[in-house]
Structure 1
Amino acid sequence: MEVLILATKDCNHRPLVEERLKKMGISYEVRYVDEHPKLVEKYEAHSSPNIIVDGEVVYRGDYGDPIPTEDELKSLFNA
């Protein structure tokens, strides 16, 4: 399983997502939107952070709901 976090460099929520993924033992990579415009286009990333699993966006951060809860992450990766 390939997990990618696509986020802005100043995204305050990215470190929290990383912490939760580490706690769950899930390996991931981080890519920053300003360094990877093709990924932004490909995944239509207009918010931060985005979690992409095996090429599919499974979570998009939003101002009202910026990061998934631990239970939401567990359900994403146990599905």
Structure 2
Amino acid sequence: MQVQLLVTRTDFSTANLDQEFRDLGVSYELLYIEDHPDLVAAHGIQHSPCILVNGRLAFREQPTENQLREYFSRLGQ
């Protein structure tokens, strides 16, 4: 499973999301929106943070740890 966290360089949620992913044992790749205009255009991203899972936009906002837990449990993670 490929998980990508897309954030702006000034997004204050990054540390919190990092902790939530670590708590859940989910590996992810950190991508800065400024460096990936192709992903921004392809997914209609207008703000940060966004989370892609297997190339699909899963969250357009900062999810809670419980929302992440539910999402990944449905995927069998």
Please, what TM-score do these two structures have when normalized by structure 2?
Answer: 0.90
Which one-letter code corresponds to 1:23 in the other structure?
D
Cα offset for 1:28?
0.3
Identity, in percent, stands at: 32
Cα offset for 1:15?
1.6
Alignment of 1:1-79 (within 5 A): 1-61=1-61, 67-79=62-74
Which one-letter code corresponds to 1:32 in the other structure?
Y
Cα offset for 1:42?
1.2
Which one-letter code corresponds to 1:30 in the other structure?
L
CA RMSD between the two structures: 0.8
Segments of 5+ residues of structure 2 without an aligned counterpart are none
Aligned residues: 74
Segments of 5+ residues of structure 1 without an aligned counterpart are 62-66
